[in-house]
């Protein structure tokens, strides 16, 4: 099964992926990028909050939380 | 540079030259505050930056040679971009844009050694500002636990600045830091992030313009130019120097040109910086063993679990609520008793008269009315300090964010609102955990809708009057009470949503934040924060509360009732006159002038309504728990036309009024302190009174239309 450009928010808990691109250029995306979420960065999807939003991911050795809406603009390439 | 008065007395030696100024910067959770506390001890001063709601912390420490050094603790931030007032203040202070704060002579940049890569993002931006920098690699223990070895020496060589390894929570590395701070030859870093060529040309032009129009030296022009070009929209805060229009326009022109020629140039700058950092990290950080899932991650499997997570959260919040609601009660009673005792002593010692009344009922009771908030404030901030210190606060926000974001707020707004069920004062003070100032303000604006414990006596009296004993099951009373709580809570959420849509329009605040590793609490930091809040409350809000309560005392005691009429002093007083003047306005709500006096008197404290009613209706014995005699007396009260005053509709209308009205001078005083102006407390008073009036009007007139009395 090949996943071409899935959204970060569509990963399953525990799954890892590599950021391929951003779907939009806006202030929110820039903030994520400043936090180290860049094309080529490996991320691990840790969990959704019990109420479905926000999400928690792991990147560069630390845990980051972001809302689903924010995670929607992060695209994940085919996992290796 | 002038030394503020508050610091002058603390210089141990007579030194002619002004002390050096260091700024402390770092990401949230870098241990920045612990380090600041360790350096300055108790020599700290908290105030607001003039014109903004951002808090300014400054302290003094001494160099190895005993010279005083001023240290400014800047708000924590992930990057130097100014998207919020907190971040704008950090930028403005570092660049010397604020006349109220000297430009720092050097910067201490605190990094979490277990997370060097992301922390270097801010650190390298700070290096480019051109000030001498000392980098503190904090939490070396945590890094070691994660199997990371960070080489401070290599980092120092690569960046060209002093690097100190530290564990601020254990006091390790502080001496080395102090020695570094004492050195006269601290260097600025030559490190520069590579930039695209076109951006570089824009930088050149901007620097030229800054040097010419604003007379900046090259060291200040470079960071100014960089931040002006990259920040968009730049958050301007009051009290910071505005830039020349020529420079601002030039920045806009270049931003447009960059947008056209290099789409995504801002991202490219971030990518280029992380590339450089990546090279640096490979050189400096050594991984000793492959990473196993961290302890924090294993704990989070439970604490963020759909069932266990909410169970733990419920327990934690339950304990927090219980402590400020119940645990604080005996302490507050004790303070109340003490105030009464002191008042009694003074009453015996002083000759009877207005002066004695002023001292006993005005001043002593007023001071007591301020101090009485301390138990709740101390307990709440003990809990908040503990939650923030251990890293659980971010998890609570994570779990609750969905609920709060529905009305456009951040998960962190939950705790201030919950605390407001006990008392709005600590609740409003707790809003400082919310980073976004707009959301802090919205939370402050709606917090008084949460039914505080001072409303309870009023509700109980009105419910008892509405439903006399034995006429209805107790469940009806409980149900009514619950409805009142629900009405207040609903009002808070509705107005939060409303303000986010209108007056304080803004996107739901971003939740992009680190979930920090769990840590053992730094007890000293928790206690210090607790004490600091208490001092801030007493100094900034307490004085206003005291002034207002003395004013209220005057309103209720002057002019004097004629001899023989002392028992109806209140109706002769200014407050009584106000009650009468208000009659035409309050009549449509079913209130008579005596109820109006109670409403006015409630501004001192809502529960005073009960005693005011007893006084105005001349009931002596209100000491029994159920207010039986008062309730009976209220039942028999007649209006001028002979109809009863306290009809069920009037009781309901009055209760609805109390749900929404902001009748609390202490709340006004604390909002003034937190928002740094009288504008917002007055706005709150206006809009909440309007809502209360409209609510009560609908209940009373609607009820009459439906044929009730």
| Lowest-pLDDT range of B182-191, B456-465, B602-611 | B602-611
How far is the first Cα of chain A from the last one, in angstroms, to the nearest whole number? 12
In sequence order, what are the residues at sequence separation of 6 or more whose Cβ sits closer than 8 angstroms to the Cβ of residue B161? B127, B132, B133, B134, B135, B186, B187, B188, B189
Q: With an 8 Å Cβ cutoff, are B264 and A46 in contact?
A: no
Contacts of B514 in chain A (CB under 8 A): 35, 62-65
Question: How much is the average pLDDT of B631-656?
Answer: 84
Grouping H, G, I as helix, E, B as strand and the rest as coil, residue A68 is helix
Touching B: A residues 1-20, CB under 8 Å: none
Contacts of B410 in chain A (CB under 8 A): none
Contacts of A48 in chain B (CB under 8 A): none
Grouping H, G, I as helix, E, B as strand and the rest as coil, residue A3 is coil
Report residue B601's pLDDT band, with 50, 70 and 90 as the boundaries: confident
Q: With an 8 Å Cβ cutoff, are A53 and B402 in contact?
A: yes
pLDDT at B4: 46
pLDDT at B293: 61
Q: Distance between CA atoms of B83 and B287, rounded to whole angstroms?
A: 35
Listed ranges B115-124, B454-463, B580-589; the one with the highest mean pLDDT: B115-124
On the question of pLDDT at B623 being above 60, the answer is no
Q: With an 8 Å Cβ cutoff, are A60 and B114 in contact?
A: no
Question: How much is the average pLDDT of B578-591?
Answer: 89
CA B34 remoteness from chain centre: 19
Report residue B150's pLDDT band, with 50, 70 and 90 as the boundaries: very high
pLDDT at B291: 58
Distance from CA of A25 to the nearest CA of B (A): 7
pTM equals 0.84
On the question of pLDDT at B625 being above 80, the answer is no
Q: With an 8 Å Cβ cutoff, are A53 and B401 in contact?
A: yes
Q: Distance between CA atoms of B428 and B419, rounded to whole angstroms?
A: 9
Taking CA atoms, A40 is separated from A34, A59, B194, B265, in Å, by 14, 11, 19, 17
Q: With an 8 Å Cβ cutoff, are B305 and A51 in contact?
A: no
Judge whether A5 and A56 are in contact, CB under 8 Å.
no
Contacts of B398 in chain A (CB under 8 A): 49, 54, 56, 65
pLDDT at B109: 97
Q: With an 8 Å Cβ cutoff, are B398 and A65 in contact?
A: yes
Report residue B245's pLDDT band, with 50, 70 and 90 as the boundaries: confident
Mean pLDDT across chain B: 85
pLDDT at B508: 67
pLDDT, tens only, A15-52: 999 999 998 888 888 889 999 999 999 999 999 999 98
- Residue of chain B minimizing CA distance to A31: B512
pLDDT at B16: 57
Token pair of B200 as six digits: 């570089």
On the question of pLDDT at B1 being above 50, the answer is no
User: Nearest by CB to A50, which of B79, B118, B399?
Assistant: B399
Q: Distance between CA atoms of B349 and B187, rounded to whole angstroms?
A: 66
pLDDT at B537: 86
ipTM strictly over 0.90?
A: yes
Q: Distance between CA atoms of A73 and A70, rounded to whole angstroms?
A: 6
Asked if B519 is an interface residue toward chain A (Cβ–Cβ < 8 A), one would say: no
- Residue of chain B minimizing CA distance to A35: B118
The fraction of chain B above a pLDDT of 90, given in percent, is 36
| Number of residues written out for chain B | 709
Q: In what order do the strands lie in the sheet with B20-26?
A: B44-48, B55-62, B68-73, B20-26, B106-112, B133-138, B162-165
Touching A: B residues 24-83, CB under 8 Å: 78-79, 81, 83
pLDDT, tens only, B101-142: 899 999 999 999 999 999 999 999 999 999 999 999 999 988
Helix (H) or strand (E) holding B169: none
Token pair of B566 as six digits: 């002392």
If you write DSSP's letter for every residue of B432-479 in order, what string do you get?
A: GG--SHHHHHHHHHHGGGS--GGGHHHHHHHHHHHS-TTSS-HHHHHH
Q: Map tokens 């960046």 to a residue.
A: B159
Asked whether the bond before B196 is cis by omega within 30 degrees of 0, the reply is: no
Instruction: Give the closest residue to B393 by CA, choosing from B307, B531, B535, B513.
Output: B513
Asked whether the bond before B233 is cis by omega within 30 degrees of 0, the reply is: yes
Q: What are phi and psi of B460, to 5 degrees?
A: -65, -40
Instruction: Give the closest residue to B50 by CA, choosing from B4, B12, B107, B105.
Output: B4
Token pair of B624 as six digits: 């029994």
Grouping H, G, I as helix, E, B as strand and the rest as coil, residue B132 is strand
Report residue B626's pLDDT band, with 50, 70 and 90 as the boundaries: low
Distance from CA of B491 to the nearest CA of A (A): 23
Contacts of B143 in chain A (CB under 8 A): none
Rg of chain A taking only CA atoms, in angstroms: 11
| Lowest-pLDDT range of B229-243, B372-386, B510-524 | B229-243
On the question of pLDDT at B171 being above 80, the answer is yes
pLDDT, tens only, B683-693: 999 999 999 99
On the question of pLDDT at B203 being above 70, the answer is yes
Judge whether A46 and B301 are in contact, CB under 8 Å.
no
Token pair of B261 as six digits: 């020629």
Question: How much is the average pLDDT of B472-494?
Answer: 87
Question: How much is the average pLDDT of B469-477?
Answer: 74
Beta bridge partners of B60: B70
pLDDT, tens only, B252-291: 899 999 989 988 899 999 999 999 999 999 999 988 865 5
Contacts of B79 in chain A (CB under 8 A): 31, 34
Judge whether B404 and B410 are in contact, CB under 8 Å.
yes
How many CB pairs (< 8 A) connect A and B? 109
B682-691 LR contacts (CB < 8 Å, sep 24+) = B683/B445, B684/B444, B684/B445, B684/B448, B687/B445, B688/B448, B688/B449, B688/B660, B688/B661, B688/B662, B689/B661, B689/B662, B691/B491, B691/B495, B691/B660
Judge whether B174 and B40 are in contact, CB under 8 Å.
no
pLDDT at B680: 93
Listed ranges B38-42, B301-305, B555-559; the one with the highest mean pLDDT: B301-305
């Amino acid at each position: 099964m090949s996943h071409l450009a899935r959204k970060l928010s569509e990963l399953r808990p525990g799954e890892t992926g590599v950021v391929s691109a951003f779907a939009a250029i806006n202030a929110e995306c820039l903030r994520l990028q400043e936090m180290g979420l860049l094309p080529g960065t490996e991320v691990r999807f840790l969990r959704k909050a019990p109420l479905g939003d926000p999400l928690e991911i792991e990147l560069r050795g630390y845990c980051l939380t972001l809302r689903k809406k924010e995670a929607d603009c992060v695209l994940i390439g085919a996992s290796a | 540079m002038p030394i503020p008065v508050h610091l002058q007395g603390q210089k141990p030696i007579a030194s002619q030259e002004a002390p050096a100024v260091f700024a402390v910067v770092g990401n949230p959770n870098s241990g920045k505050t612990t380090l600041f506390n360790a350096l300055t001890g108790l020599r700290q001063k908290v105030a607001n930056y003039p014109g903004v709601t951002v808090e300014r912390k400054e302290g003094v420490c001494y160099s190895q040679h005993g010279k005083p050094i001023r240290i400014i603790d800047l708000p924590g931030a992930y990057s130097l971009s100014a998207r919020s007032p907190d971040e704008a203040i950090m930028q403005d202070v570092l660049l010397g844009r604020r006349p109220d704060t000297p430009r720092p002579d050097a910067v201490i940049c605190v990094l979490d050694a277990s997370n060097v890569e992301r922390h270097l993002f801010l650190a390298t931006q700070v290096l480019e500002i051109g000030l001498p920098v000392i980098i503190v690699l904090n939490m070396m223990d945590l890094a070691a636990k994660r199997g990371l070895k960070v080489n401070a020496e290599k980092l120092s060589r690569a960046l060209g600045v002093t690097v100190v390894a530290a564990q601020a929570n254990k006091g390790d590395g502080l001496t080395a830091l102090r020695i570094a701070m004492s050195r006269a030859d601290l260097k600025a870093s030559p490190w520069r992030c590579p930039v695209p060529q076109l951006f570089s040309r824009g930088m050149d032009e901007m620097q030229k313009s800054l040097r010419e129009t604003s007379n900046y030296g090259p060291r200040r022009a470079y960071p100014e130019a960089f931040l002006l070009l990259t920040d968009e929209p730049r958050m301007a805060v009051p009290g910071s120097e505005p830039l020349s229009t020529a420079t601002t326009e030039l920045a806009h022109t270049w931003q447009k040109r960059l947008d056209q020629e290099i789409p995504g140039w801002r991202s490219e700058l971030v990518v280029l910086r992380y590339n450089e950092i990546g090279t640096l990290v490979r050189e400096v950080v050594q991984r000793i063993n492959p990473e196993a899932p961290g302890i924090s991650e294993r704990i989070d499997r439970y604490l963020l679990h759909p069932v266990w997570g909410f169970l733990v959260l419920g327990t934690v919040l339950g304990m927090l609520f219980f402590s400020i609601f119940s645990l604080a009660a005996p302490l507050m009673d004790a303070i109340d008793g003490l105030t009464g005792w002191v008042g009694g002593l003074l009453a015996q010692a002083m000759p009877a008269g207005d002066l004695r009344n002023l001292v006993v009922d005005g001043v002593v009771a007023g001071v007591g009315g301020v101090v009485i908030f301390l138990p709740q404030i101390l307990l709440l901030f003990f809990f908040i300090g503990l939650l923030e210190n251990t890293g659980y606060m971010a998890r609570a926000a994570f779990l609750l964010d969905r609920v709060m974001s529905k009305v456009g707020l951040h998960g962190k707004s939950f705790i201030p609102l919950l605390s407001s069920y006990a008392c709005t004062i600590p609740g409003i003070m707790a809003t400082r955990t919310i980073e976004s100032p707009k959301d802090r303000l919205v939370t402050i604006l709606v917090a008084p809708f949460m039914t505080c414990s001072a409303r309870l006596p009023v509700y109980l009296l009105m419910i008892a009057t509405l439903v006399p004993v034995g006429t209805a099951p107790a469940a009806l009373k409980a149900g009514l009470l619950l409805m009142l709580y629900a009405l207040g809570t609903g009002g808070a959420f509705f107005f939060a949503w409303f303000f986010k849509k209108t007056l304080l329009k803004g996107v739901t605040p971003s939740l992009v934040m680190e979930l920090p590793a769990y840590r053992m609490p730094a007890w000293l930091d928790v206690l210090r924060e607790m004490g600091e809040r208490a001092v801030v409350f007493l100094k900034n809000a307490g004085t206003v509360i005291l002034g207002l309560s003395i004013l209220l005392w005057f309103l209720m005691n002057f002019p004097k009732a004629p001899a023989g009429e002392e028992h109806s002093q209140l109706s002769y007083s200014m407050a009584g006159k106000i009650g009468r003047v208000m009659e035409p306005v309050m009549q449509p709500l079913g209130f008579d002038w005596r109820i109006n006096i109670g409403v006015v008197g409630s501004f001192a404290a809502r529960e005073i309504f009960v005693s005011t009613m007893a006084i105005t209706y001349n009931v002596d014995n209100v000491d029994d728990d159920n207010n039986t005699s008062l309730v009976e007396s209220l039942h028999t009260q007649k209006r001028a036309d002979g109809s009863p005053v306290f009809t069920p509709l009037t009781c309901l209308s009055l209760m609805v009024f109390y749900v929404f009205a902001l009748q609390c001078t202490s709340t006004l005083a604390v909002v003034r302190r937190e928002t740094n102006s009288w504008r917002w407390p007055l706005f709150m008073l206006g809009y909440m009174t309007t809502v209360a009036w409209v609510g009560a009007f609908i209940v009373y007139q609607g009820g009459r239309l439906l044929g009730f009395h």
